[in-house]
Chain A
Amino acid sequence: MRALWKKNGITVLLLLAGVVFLLLFPVLGDDLYLLTVFSIALMYSVYAASWDLLSGYTGKENFGHAALVAIGAYSLGIISQSTPLQPILSIPLAGILSIVWGILIGIPTLRLKGPYFALATLAVASIMEKLTLSFSEVTGGEEGLYGIPFLAQDFVPSYYFVLLFAILSIGFLFFLGRSNFGLTLKSIRSDEDAARAVGISTTRYKVTAFAISAGFAGMTGAISGHYYGFVGFDMVFPLSLNIIILSVVGGLGGILPAALGAFFLTYLTELLREFGEFNQLIYTGILMVVVLVLPHGVFNLLGDFLRRGRKHGVTGR
């Protein structure tokens, strides 16, 4: 903790300021529109952070993160058709189910090298997408499933629920990434054979990372179901690609850059709505520029910049 503060003081202060702003936001004004935008942006931040733990840290790109979100969201939606599930039950349940799913999918697929893991996850998500449509009497098909209890009666408590969940989840993932566990994952990303040569059971680490990543994706899926009171096809399956874009723009392998990227890019998408039909063009343009000019991500670069600035300031060099 102390090392973190010493090296990244300015970054920590900025982050704290951001959190304080988000905490005070409902008190300072009553912009319900922005409150909703922030809530959604926060859920996307957790998606990106959970994706980063596996894909950013081990380099195994998951192209089907939506499958894990779907496990959480649809288990809540389907059960709620007979017995309305309250968040206190549904979130842990979604977490457990998606962890189990992550382990079941991870054990066979994470042995694959190169692009084959990405292809396998893409395939799993596509199969689930098709099945959702085929079994529409259970899943609601394109219509989706209604009748899910809301997170809270009002916008403001719902917002605080999402905010608290996002802070805790992202915080947990961030410190996990900085721990010895995260270091081992990074060694796998760099060279899996070299990690095995020094005694690391790489498959076990990858499956564990996938399970944790899945758990947070599933829990967030359930929370988004509660937030909207609804679980739908279009709400879940386009996420696979979106999450990758959000994380890559923010920056991989550090949890916070990916989460911040997701938050600001989701917010930006809302701002661009004013431009009407040009919004997609501007959005895509920004993405292309970022990927070309800042391949390590916006927030990774910003973090480096702040660190360097401080070092110069302190030592006077």
Chain B
Amino acid sequence: MALLAVENLHKQFGGLTACDHVSFSVERGERFGILGPNGAGKTTLFNLITGFIRPDSGSVQLQGKPLTGMKPEHISSLGLVRTFQIVKPFKGLSVFENLKVPTLSPRMRKRLKGEREREKWIETIADLSDLKAILQEKVDELPHGYLKKLEVAKALCIQPEIVLLDEPFAGLTSSEIQPISTVIQRANEKNGTTIVLIEHRLKEFMQLVHRIIAIDYGQKIAEGTPGEIVRNPLVVESYLGKGGADLVGP
């Protein structure tokens, strides 16, 4: 059984079809990518899966359990967590406190007994995310690169089965991308966390993911390995316009 199964997910905003009967499934342990130009409906897809927006029709299942209609906090407590494209650190709090909030969710209250275990767990995640040195710093003064890492670390703190990362590299320089890419890879390989990734930075994206679906105008236009996707004429056209595939050549 697939870890995450999305079937015929559909959402209409007035006359705009933001998500047009999209289906795909993600296997446990995978690093799965969602590709598409701006406005293709990638973030909407994340919002639909994680309960922030209700779909008009279709279903989402996590380990065979239907999630449709559930609130975001219940979905994340089941182990499906998302991050936000525009970082959302808890301002006025330290990095440690930021990481502590997820451990106060019902899911982690069951798994961590008492303050000692909680602190140890936060340190483990801080270690994994290279944030250990700045645990006591207030987040308000941190550079953007750290906030992006913190965004991922907060999601990892809930010991998720699967993390949906919404453009974790956006707004970062090439040298800032490597550390966060390492964190994602580590979470996947060491902790076995399944990763679903939306990204625009194609080079880093293609190196990171095993399998991709491409989306345009809310529709799934292709599915395959990174190698297959870059050669898919529909995908190239979605970025370069009609006839774009001919420009690139075979």
Contact = CB atoms under 8 A, between A and B. Distances in A.
A194 interface: yes
A191 B72 CA distance: 14
Contacts of B217: none
B92 A186 contact: yes
Given A183-B101, A184-B104, A196 B90 contact: no
Contact of B93 (A180, A186, A201): A186
Given A183-B97, A190-B93, A200 B105 contact: yes
Interface stretch (B154-162, B194-202, B206-214, B225-233): B154-162
A198 B103 CA distance: 8
B88 A183 contact: no
Contact of A197 (B50, B106, B108): B50
Contacts, number: 81
B52 interface: yes
Contacts of B108: 199
B71 interface: yes
Contact of A190 (B76, B81, B83, B91): B91
A199 B92 contact: no
A202 B72 CA distance: 10
Q: Which of B83, B97, B105 has the largest number of chain A CB atoms within 10 A?
A: B105
A199 B97 CA distance: 15
Contacts of B101: 183-184, 187, 195, 198, 200
B54 interface: no
B132 interface: no
A186 B82 CA distance: 20
B245 to A, nearest CB: 38
Contacts of B97: 183, 186
A306 B136 CA distance: 19
A188 B104 CA distance: 13
B21 interface: no
B61 interface: no
Contacts of B72: 193, 196-197
B28 interface: no
Interface in A166-207: 180, 183-184, 186-187, 189-191, 193-202
Interface residues of A, number: 19
Interface string B44-72: 00000010100000000000000000011
Q: Which of B83, B92, B101 has the largest number of chain A CB atoms within 10 A?
A: B101
Given A190-B92, A194-B90, A195-B101, A201 B73 contact: yes
A196 B71 contact: yes
Contacts of B100: 180, 183
Interface string A200-237: 11100000000000000000000000000000000000
Contact of A196 (B76, B98, B154, B155): B76
Nearest to A194: B88
A199 B88 contact: no
Q: Which of B73, B92, B102 has the largest number of chain A CB atoms within 10 A?
A: B73
22 contacts: A183-B93, A183-B100, A186-B90, A186-B97, A190-B88, A190-B89, A190-B92, A191-B88, A191-B90, A193-B72, A194-B88, A194-B90, A194-B154, A196-B73, A197-B50, A197-B73, A197-B81, A198-B158, A199-B73, A199-B77, A199-B106, A201-B73
Top-3 shortest CB links A-B = A199-B105, A194-B88, A198-B102
Given A183-B97, A197-B73, A199-B105, 5 more contacts: A187-B93, A197-B76, A197-B81, A197-B83, A198-B76
